[in-house]
């Protein structure tokens, strides 16, 4: 009898018929049933069939899984990020095209909101805006307004929030690489210890077939060590380094991007200030003109009439100024709008790329883990073979042949 703690679970076996000869069923620590061939120590999750030729399991065919650009999708729709399909035009006032999905209902509780220095009336008063990329939750649709930070002290622009997300993503990627590095260290340490123990001389004098099996068991630790070293070196080259090196200048690029958008915002603000100034100037000119017109009604002097002409000219000029300033503001606004849409879509693309990249390398990690366990399992196969060949009678023969002292037995003494 083998000195096992867990006794074979025969409950299922009597229900579903018997296992093939030599197979026993056990429970894993996680409560999952597995099967052990007591002759070969083959161990498997799959119930062995007693009918030869019956498959343990059908080959893995997953017709519902599709591959798109190396990215496996099961059931979820593919959101194509084709920015060429959207026109970078402002939708304000555009009639809602029939059949297109409605924009999600906004639930702003304030009666006005500030975007780029312009205070807008409550959304309900405004004409309904069509989302640029409806049903996609695109960055380009949801980060137009500014936001107070958690303490309510500083205002953060929507774009700033997107940028912070990108930088955090970069940080996560770096931390994952660090995690993998720690794992590599653990594997190297483990391999070092196994290798060292493998070279230990304990019980090296065991002889015969048992001695061979024992020597192979010790050697198997060196094989295990090699498997784990391979794992750690592949972790480094195929997981850690790619994670670490992906987008080396990302932070710098993001800063450049940030500066560009910030410059545009500043430009926009100065244009807005110019508009305000021109509007004020126009108001003054109009007041002046009005005052002089009233004076004319009282005095009717020629000189006043000339002054009115002059004031009217100046007022018209101020009106033209305002028109020009508004036009410049609108130009800057338009530029900013286009830049915002282009850049947020680029950030969106970068984020998809990052998630894909990380997913791929974590898949690489699990594959290396799978391989490691599989290679590891094969390191004891030769030990199993030699253990099956252990034969005390043969060992005795070998030993007796080498150490025998003589087979002449004593006989009775005769006088």
Within 316-345, which residues bind a second copy (CB under 8 A)?
322-323, 326, 329-330, 333-334, 336-337
Q: Comparing C-alpha atoms, which of 7, 389, 2 is closest to residue 211? A: 389
Site for a second copy in 244-273 (CB under 8 A): none
Task: Report, in Å, the least distance between residue 93 CB and a second copy.
Answer: 7
Task: Report, in Å, the least distance between residue 292 CB and a second copy.
Answer: 23
**Coil, strand, or helix at residue 352?**
helix
* Cross-strand pairs, 114: 119
Site for a second copy in 67-86 (CB under 8 A): 67, 70, 72-74, 76-77, 79
Asked whether 20 and 49 are in contact (CB, 8 A), the reply is yes
Site for a second copy in 222-241 (CB under 8 A): 226-227, 230, 234, 237-238
**Coil, strand, or helix at residue 106?**
coil
Query: Does residue 13 interact with a second copy by CB under 8 A?
Result: no
Region from 252-260, 297-305, 309-317, 356-364 binding a second copy, contact rule CB under 8 A: 356-364
Task: Report, in Å, the least distance between residue 415 CB and a second copy.
Answer: 6
Site for a second copy in 170-199 (CB under 8 A): 172-173, 175-176, 178-179, 182-183, 186, 189-190, 193-194, 197
In the set 8, 88, 142, 346, which binds a second copy (CB under 8 A)?
142
How many CB atoms neighbour CB 17 within 10 A?
Answer: 9
For tokens 């920015």, the residue is 83
Query: Does residue 167 interact with a second copy by CB under 8 A?
Result: no
Question: Chain centroid to CA 258: how far?
Answer: 23
Query: Does residue 146 interact with a second copy by CB under 8 A?
Result: yes
CA 312-318-324 angle, to 5 degrees, is 140
Burial grade of 195 (CB within 10 A; 0-12, 13-18, 19 or more): middle
CA R_g for the chain: 41
Per-residue contact string for residues 38-67; x = within reach of a second copy by CB under 8 A: -xxxxxxx--xxx-xxxxxxxxxxx--x-x
Q: Which is nearer to a second copy, 291 or 399 (CB)?
A: 399
Q: Are strands 71-74 and 33-37 parallel, antiparallel or unpaired?
A: unpaired
In the set 9, 10, 11, 92, which binds a second copy (CB under 8 A)?
92
Task: Report, in Å, the least distance between residue 62 CB and a second copy.
Answer: 6
- Alpha helix positions (H), 72-134: none
Query: Does residue 88 interact with a second copy by CB under 8 A?
Result: no
Q: Which is nearer to a second copy, 48 or 312 (CB)?
A: 48
Size of the site for a second copy (CB under 8 A): 175
In the set 13, 307, 338, 395, which binds a second copy (CB under 8 A)?
395
Question: Chain centroid to CA 245: how far?
Answer: 15
Task: Report, in Å, the least distance between residue 284 CB and a second copy.
Answer: 16
Distance CA 82, CA 349 (A): 10
Asked whether 96 and 129 are in contact (CB, 8 A), the reply is no
In the set 86, 217, 244, 296, which binds a second copy (CB under 8 A)?
217
**Coil, strand, or helix at residue 113?**
strand
The tally of CA atoms less than 13 A away on the side-chain side of residue 56 is 9
């Amino acid at each position: 009898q083998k000195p096992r703690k867990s006794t074979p679970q025969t409950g299922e076996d009597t229900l579903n018929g018997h296992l093939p000869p030599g197979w026993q069923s056990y429970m894993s620590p996680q409560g999952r049933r597995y099967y052990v061939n007591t002759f070969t120590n083959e161990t498997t999750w799959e119930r062995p069939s007693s009918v030869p030729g019956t498959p343990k399991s059908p080959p893995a065919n997953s017709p519902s899984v599709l591959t798109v650009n190396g990215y496996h999708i099961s059931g979820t729709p593919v959101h194509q990020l084709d920015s060429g399909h959207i026109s970078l035009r402002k939708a304000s006032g555009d009639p809602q095209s029939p059949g297109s999905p409605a924009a999600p209902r906004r639930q702003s509780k304030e009666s006005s909101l500030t975007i780029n220095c312009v205070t807008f009336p409550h959304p309900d008063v405004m004409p309904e805006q069509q989302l640029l990329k409806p049903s996609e939750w695109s960055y380009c649709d949801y980060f137009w307004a500014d936001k107070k930070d958690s303490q309510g002290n500083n205002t953060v622009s929507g774009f700033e929030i997107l940028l912070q997300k990108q930088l955090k993503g970069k940080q996560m990627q770096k931390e994952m690489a660090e995690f993998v590095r720690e794992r590599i260290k653990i594997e190297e340490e483990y391999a070092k210890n196994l290798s060292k123990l493998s070279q230990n001389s304990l019980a090296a004098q065991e002889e015969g077939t048992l001695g061979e099996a024992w020597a192979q068991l010790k050697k198997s630790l060196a094989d295990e060590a090699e498997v784990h070293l391979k794992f750690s070196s592949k972790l480094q080259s195929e997981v850690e380094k790619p994670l670490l090196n992906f987008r080396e200048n990302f932070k710098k690029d993001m800063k450049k991007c940030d500066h560009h958008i910030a410059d545009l915002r500043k430009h926009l603000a100065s244009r807005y200030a110019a508009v305000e100034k021109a509007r004020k100037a126009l108001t003054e000119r109009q007041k002046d003109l009005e005052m002089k017109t009233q004076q004319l009604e009282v005095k009717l002097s020629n000189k006043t009439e000339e002054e009115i002409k002059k004031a009217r000219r100046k007022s018209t000029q101020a009106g033209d100024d305002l028109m020009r300033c508004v036009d410049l503001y609108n130009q800057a606004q338009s530029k900013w709008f286009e830049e915002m849409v282009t850049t947020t879509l680029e950030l969106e693309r970068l984020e998809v790329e990052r998630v894909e990249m990380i997913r791929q390398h974590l898949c690489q990690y699990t594959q290396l883990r799978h391989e490691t366990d599989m290679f590891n399992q094969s390191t004891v196969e030769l030990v199993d073979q030699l253990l099956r060949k252990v034969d005390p009678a043969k060992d005795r023969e070998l030993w007796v042949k080498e150490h025998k002292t003589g087979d002449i037995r004593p006989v009775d003494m005769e006088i």
